[in-house]
Chains A and B, each alone.
Chain A
Amino acid sequence: MMTNGVVHANVFGIKDWVSPYKISVLALLYEMTSSKITLPERRRLNKLILPLQQGPDLTLGQFLKTVEECCPKTAYAVKLRSMADGELKDMEYFFSTLPTPFTAFDSEAYKTSVVGLFMRHMLLAYNKLSFSQVYKLYKSLQHYYHSHYDTVGDRADKEELDTPLHESELRRGPLSQKQAEYFLSRQAYLLKNDENKALRPAALQEELNNMLKFNPDFAEAHYLNYLNSMRVQDIFLSAHSLLHYFDRLILSSNEGKSNGDEGYGRSLRYAALNLASLHCRFGHYQQADLALQEAIRIAQESNDHVCLQHCLSWLYTLEHMKGSESTVLTQDSVKMAAHFCLPYLGSLDIQSLVQQGAMQGKAAHKLMDALKDTEILHWKHSLSELIEISLAQTTSIWRMYGKSTMALQQAQLLLNMSSLEPVNFGVHQNNTEAFAVALCHLAELHAEQGLYSATAEIFQHLKEQFPPHTQHSKLWMLCNLKIQFERHMNNRKYHLAEPLVKAMSALNKTEGLYRKAQVLKALNRSTEAYSILQQLQVHCEKTKCTEIIIRVMLSTAELHWESSSFSTALPLLLQALALARQHHLQSLASEGVLHLAFTQLMLGIPGQALTVLHEAMEPILAHGAVIDKGRAMLLAARCHMAVAGFRLKEQALAVDGLNEAESYFSRLSCKERLRDVHYLQAQLHRSLGQTAQSNKSAMNFRLLDQELQSPAPPVFMQL
């Protein structure tokens, strides 16, 4: 058949055809309509019908096994045998006895039922067959039947040499168009929603190759191939499949639409757009940019506003990924989306805007208001994907502001929410980026509270849900590394922390650099650390990465402490504090206050330090990590000790502080810091004349000191 001058493979437009397997299914259905089967068995069989009709052809052995699991004694196999062992007329007779869906009003095989539709398809396909085709069908039925029942017999000597042939040949044959469509939609759905349940990449690839071998015109298979290659990060194959898909699509879409211009012009635009997204996914930003511009140009020429809107969204995403300013573009995008009534894109844009706003230190209430407004939109249009993103975003924003309780609540909300999407194939979608982000936050929050076993469990789950080769796996990898790094640093096991830095830099360069500076600082290689920090500060000021800037400032201040130049650290700390407050970064602000108080303590104004410290105490105790709480208490106690002289009241406060710090540090089993606490306790108790307690603390100190086997660093030189 020729359409548009091109030869089509599908000559008669047949979507389905009779195969021996289909005859077996028909025999089963016939049996079910005609004979008496007990109710539970019938129920099980009914559940089986749809998969049997839609699934790929099974061998007789597999088929019999599946049916017998549901219903041990059915007689349909007898019918098959009578056909296979009989003559051609037996098969013809079988088809003539099938209940005709047009007459059987009261049976399940009525023309509008699932079974009836299938039977009609089969009858139609059978009636269309020519004489030689009928004969061939009969031959293959015989082969189908005997290959199952005669395997035990004479196979061994006949086919000994045949075994090393292709495995694919021995496996099932081609799929009919219906079966292929079902297979593709199922796999695509699984890939999108829960990759682990889909076929392995290699197996899927093989299936697709098989399918394409029998029907090269099946364009959707190429698209699935593209998705599959993306899974394994194969740029070459995925680009190839994507282009192939659109080459194929151009014809079919042209055919479908009566106005040819709209038909393939549309797929051209989306082809370019998809190519852009492909390059973006692989981090080829320049290529993506070029492809995107092309898509924009074509869309402009044909006045396709919807496509243009998509392009705009991609444009600001791309700009953002390249690390440049894209707020204006995003704002434009929001306006355009509102104008063309595209709720999905519109609120996606708003979400990006909120993200950018949060980075730039916009007022918190404005951001939250914007998110709330989009929420209304989401629920109205049931955009469950965006609801998830929105929740994850709120989690992140709360975390950034240092409100761990709120963040925890939002993360739990997302994880416990039941999706609005219909659940197909028994799979609930939970592999989006939103879930990954929320789970990572959850892991970090648990780690902060010293609940490391819970953290490990979360990571175990993440690893299963987002295997290392998938798109969002980098999120949890980095998060995991950060937690481990923090843990080692707190325990002062620098040699363990150092190798993690390299892994981190592979995932995120800035983060890696910052951590490297920290390790170098801890190893007393101050010059190198300082140069890295300077470099980092310049870089981050360019990319407007406020959090890192503040952290860098604090680290630089710590470097100044090491050279005992506490006064030079002061302006830096004040600057960091101002910046943190401006961006509402509470946890970083508290950290700044701690640093400031420590500096003041060292400068010999402990009273001043105490007043400053009181300001930060409340947020730290409410939201901070356990280690921060411990550090704050320890510092407070030291300030009290310094202020106290011989005043008992102050000394008692110091004792309480130290005890509390001890409990925090022991919860983290942070032995180095515990040793310091014990030392201070011993000193304090002795000055208070409590010899027994003093001795106890001293013994604790000594035990820990022996265990650690490293000389204690000058205790009071660090926070």
Chain B
Amino acid sequence: MKMAALCSEFGDLAQIKKQLISVISLCKERGVLHSAKWASELAFALDPLPKDDLPPEPAFTEEDAQDLDAFTLAKSYFDLKEYDRAAYFLKGCCSQKAYFLYMYSRYLSGEKKKDDETVDSLGPLEKGQVRNEALRELRVELSKKHTARELDGFTLYLYGVVLRKLDLLKEAVEVFVEAIQALPLHWGAWLELSNLITNIEMLKSLSLPDCWIKDFFMAHMYTELQMIKEALQKYQNLIEAGFSKSTYIISQIAVAYHNIRDIDQALALFNELRERDPYRIDNMDTFSNLLYVKSMKPELSYLAHNLVEIDKYRVETCCVIGNYYSLRSQHEKAALYFQRALKLNPRCLGAWTLMGHEYMEMKNTSAAIQAYRHAIEVNKRDYRAWYGLGQTYEILKMPFYCLYYYRKAHQLRPNDSRMLVALGESYEKLSQQVEAKKCYWRAYSVGDVEKMALLKLAKLHEQLNESDDAAQCYMLYIQDIFSCGEQLEHAEVSTALRYLGQYYFKSKLYDEASICAQRCCDYNDAREEGKALLRQISQVRDQVETPSADLFTPLSNINTPVRRVSPLNLISFTP
């Protein structure tokens, strides 16, 4: 397997741990908090080092000593979010560390002011125009230093961020790659880079350092690019390499399972995650989605209460509560909580989509359309919003109109059967049977989640009087339903059996027909017809002379048309 080859460095976990510890202290000194958090989480998952093996303090240069007082002062201001003040005292410092903190506080100061100004801009239309005024100056200074090659890993990272904020994406990618090469252990740089990569070709074309952290990055990228199989393989390898205790990896795997709708696996992982890290809020919205899909009310309620206790003003918490209310069919309240989530973070994509779903439940189609449109504006690739729009128009009985939206959703998730079934249904309503058949068949081929495609295909064939095809589909449908084990609510096995019974009867395959008829009797709604069919069969058999022995061998090879369904022994599946 091509993914199996992890970086050779994984043999030496102690070495990795040492690297992590040193990078944590580097990040902390510079106030790069998220990267420090990530590295710490990972370091925590590895065995502790003996005292002698702890990495030495980073080298303390002459310059550092010079700037020490100013740096300490500025760092304390920085920690208290007084960015301008920090920048003022760092001006003129010459060490790399101080320079980074200087630039970083200026950047953060600009960002903070931007956020504040969004609230009271001059006019509503100016909203989009508010921007971080510091960015331009920062870019000018950093690019001068960049050409002089005076930037270290952290400042390169900052430069990349500035470029990205200015929408200079191509340059930003280059700078991030440079930053990663200068300081591979800085996870923040990798994460920023991952946001800029749009496809697998682009990923392959980048020259990244062969460090163990690259494997984490690749796994993350595969998840982002919806290449779930590869991602899972990668994470599995990482676990085997010794990171089995990492909560980060567990959460990532759970999210990956969620993306391919392997609900049970994902749930198990999330439960494990909550056991290990009970106060975690990250990714809990995904967890609540899963609980919602499974209709696990008590668990969801417990999760919601728990999260409210931890921190009720987090986007994730609001989403979880929204899901909770939605499951209890209190859609107004659910919508309210999603709105709260959006107030906390207007770019929170999931909340827009979920709010759309709530409005759909409340039959407020126009508001639902608006919410979905907002979601699409935030991220054009949000297939759920496109799908939701399609559903809205379907409810408004505009099957042709919703085709466009379903097609969009299908484009984004080519292997998701739900969009294909929805497309098929719309085509069927438009009496485009050929297209509908193609959609249903494709939905079945990519792995039908709801097990509806085959049934619909069979019914379509039935309508078009293509009895052989219909029988084949019903047969596959029955196989499919029984092979998945669990009992589905909407399963229409009886319909399938009824049809198959009649079909075999018409094709004079009385043995198969009687088996089907007997099976029919197991279902309430088809019992009468089953019995009637059995009676008919016995009548016909009485008329025809006693069948000779060879009738029980497959007849189809001799006297039935080629396309006919070979009589399958239904005895093998037991309901």
Contacts and interface: CB of A to CB of B under 8 A. Distances in A.
B139 interface: yes
A137 B122 contact: yes
A216 interface: yes
Contacts of A248: 370, 373
Interface in A356-379: none
Contacts of B377: 216
Contacts of A140: 122
A244 B373 contact: yes
Contact of B397 (A2, A177, A214, A298): A298
B129 interface: yes
Interface string A6-19: 11011110101111
Contact of B125 (A130, A174, A268, A294): A174
Contacts of A287: 400
B251 interface: no
Given A17-B122, A271-B401, 20 more contacts: A4-B370, A14-B123, A125-B123, A133-B121, A162-B136, A165-B136, A173-B126, A174-B126, A174-B129, A180-B125, A215-B124, A239-B404, A244-B373, A247-B370, A250-B369, A251-B367, A251-B370, A272-B398, A275-B400, A290-B432
A174 B396 CA distance: 36
Interface of B: 117, 120-129, 136, 139-140, 143-144, 166-168, 335, 339, 342, 359, 364-367, 369-371, 373-374, 377, 389, 396-401, 404-405, 430, 432
A712 B217 CA distance: 83
B123 A166 contact: no
A18 B122 contact: yes
B193 to A, nearest CB: 22
A176 B125 contact: yes
Interface residues of A, number: 57
A298 B342 CA distance: 35
Interface string A604-638: 00000000000000000000000000000000000
Given A165-B166, A247-B373, A6 B367 contact: yes
Contacts of A507: none
A5 interface: yes
Contacts of B342: 7
A298 B398 contact: yes
Contact of B122 (A10, A19, A162, A215): A19
Contacts of B401: 243, 271-272, 275, 291, 294
A133 B136 contact: no
B125 A175 contact: yes
A164 B380 CA distance: 28
A213 interface: yes
B129 A251 contact: no
B128 A250 contact: no
B124 A6 contact: no
A132 interface: yes
A137 B127 CA distance: 14
A162 B404 CA distance: 42
A290 B403 CA distance: 11
A239 B143 CA distance: 42
Nearest to A239: B404
21 contacts: A4-B366, A5-B339, A5-B367, A14-B123, A17-B126, A129-B122, A133-B120, A161-B144, A214-B126, A216-B377, A239-B404, A247-B370, A250-B370, A251-B366, A251-B367, A251-B369, A251-B370, A271-B401, A275-B401, A291-B401, A294-B400
A290 B122 contact: no
A603 B398 CA distance: 68
A264 interface: yes
Contact of A268 (B136, B389, B398, B432): B398
B75 to A, nearest CB: 29
Nearest to A161: B140
A131 to B, nearest CB: 9
Contacts of A6: 367, 370-371, 374
Nearest to A271: B401
A698 B56 CA distance: 115
Contacts of A18: 122
Contact of A161 (B127, B143, B404): B143
Contact of B369 (A215, A247, A298): A247
A117 B528 CA distance: 81
Nearest to A17: B123
A297 B397 contact: yes
A10 B136 contact: no
B396 A268 contact: yes
Contact of A5 (B166, B359, B396): B359
A114 to B, nearest CB: 21
B506 to A, nearest CB: 35
A424 to B, nearest CB: 25
A291 B400 contact: yes
A484 B359 CA distance: 63
A214 B129 contact: yes
A290 B124 CA distance: 40
Contacts of A271: 401
Given A7-B339, A11-B124, A243-B404, A173 B129 contact: yes
A609 B144 CA distance: 95
Given A133-B120, A174-B128, A176-B125, A294 B366 contact: no
Nearest to A19: B122
Select the residue from A14, A17, A294 with max chain B CB neighbours within 10 A.
A294
A719 to B, nearest CB: 52
Contacts of B369: 247, 250-251
A176 B396 contact: no
A19 B123 CA distance: 9
Given A129-B122, A132-B120, A161-B140, A214 B128 contact: yes
Contacts of B400: 272, 275, 287, 290-291, 293-294
A254 interface: yes
B140 A162 contact: yes
A696 interface: no
B266 to A, nearest CB: 31
Contacts of A2: 339
A295 to B, nearest CB: 9
3 closest residue pairs by CB, A with B: A17-B123, A214-B128, A6-B370
A136 interface: yes
Contacts of B140: 161-162
Interface string A261-295: 00010001001100100000000000100110110
Nearest to B129: A174
Contacts of B127: 9, 214-215
Contacts of A161: 139-140, 143-144
A291 B393 CA distance: 13
Contacts of B143: 161
A125 B127 CA distance: 16
Contacts of A268: 396, 398
Nearest to B398: A294
